[in-house]
Amino acid sequence: MTARFVEVADRVHVLRDPLLHVNVTLVVGDGEALLVDTLSTAGQARELAEAARAVTPHPWTIVNTHHHFDHCFGNATLAADPPRPVYAHAQATAVLRDHPDELRRAAAEEMRAEQPDLAAELARTELLAPTHPVRGEAVLDIGGRRVVLHHPGHGHTDADLVVHVPDADVLVAGDLVEQSGPPAFEESYPVQWPDAVAALLRLTTPATVVVPGHGAPVDVEFVRAQHAQLAQQAWLIRAGHTGSAPPERVAAESPFGARPGLIAARRGYAELDGAA
């Protein structure tokens, strides 16, 4: 990983991993810092630490936006020695604490075909569960800067956190918002996802910089447009489910394309059936 942090607002810096385009956000306060997400492996996390140290020498607190490997498998490297606080939604905390072997196996299997070297490293990565579970909202003091963690509801997962830095007008959205590709629906709640993004939008101003889970930072209009697509997807799922249409028919009309649309339709049907 040969990436560096770029300042996108006052003392708020973003690094984009070139492999999976994952964003890590660094918020610098007086004598303290905050790292949002920790990438996929120990090796990536070590390089991330070097990049962060090029910006600030301050000790950091960590936030995981959710429990997927590319956002939290670097926790042990960045927060175990010396121990640092790690915040995440309570459900993400429980998954990382109780099912590390399953998470490692699933991550390695997901990457095996396209990134075999990454898959091999994922299979042997030590996981560290978050130390500070969040359910609704938590307020952090990062060296005199107020940072608010919000759980806006079910969306990309059941455990998404967004990170709001009001004094810089920055919102770190995690994978609730995607720029470099379509939203990932594999563990999602497509019917509820638009409501989660609507809650996220209520934290913004016209000038807010939104850091997506993957890709370049975006403005509020980009998020509004993606919200409209998610709402259209949710409407198609509800209509198809009511009419007993096969998921493939819903997928054919998806604003995100047939393949993501099929995953969304199947997840949405399960959601409406109470099985998601």
pLDDT tens profile 76-123: 999 999 999 999 999 999 999 999 999 999 999 999 999 999 999 999
**Which 3 state secondary structure label does DSSP give 129?**
coil
Q: Is the dihedral of CA 197, 203, 207, 212 positive or negative?
A: negative
Band (pLDDT 50/70/90 cuts) for residue 35 is very high
| pLDDT of the residue at 276 | 86
The percentage of the chain sitting over the pLDDT mark of 90, rounded to a whole number, equals: 98
Q: What is the rounded distance in angstroms from the CA atom of residue 216 to the CA atom of residue 207?
A: 16
DSSP 108: H
| pLDDT of the residue at 1 | 65
CATH architecture of 6-220: 4-Layer Sandwich (3.60)
pLDDT average, residue stretch 201-227: 98
| pLDDT of the residue at 2 | 73
Peptide bond connecting 217 to the previous residue in cis, omega within 30 degrees of 0: no
Peptide bond connecting 57 to the previous residue in cis, omega within 30 degrees of 0: no
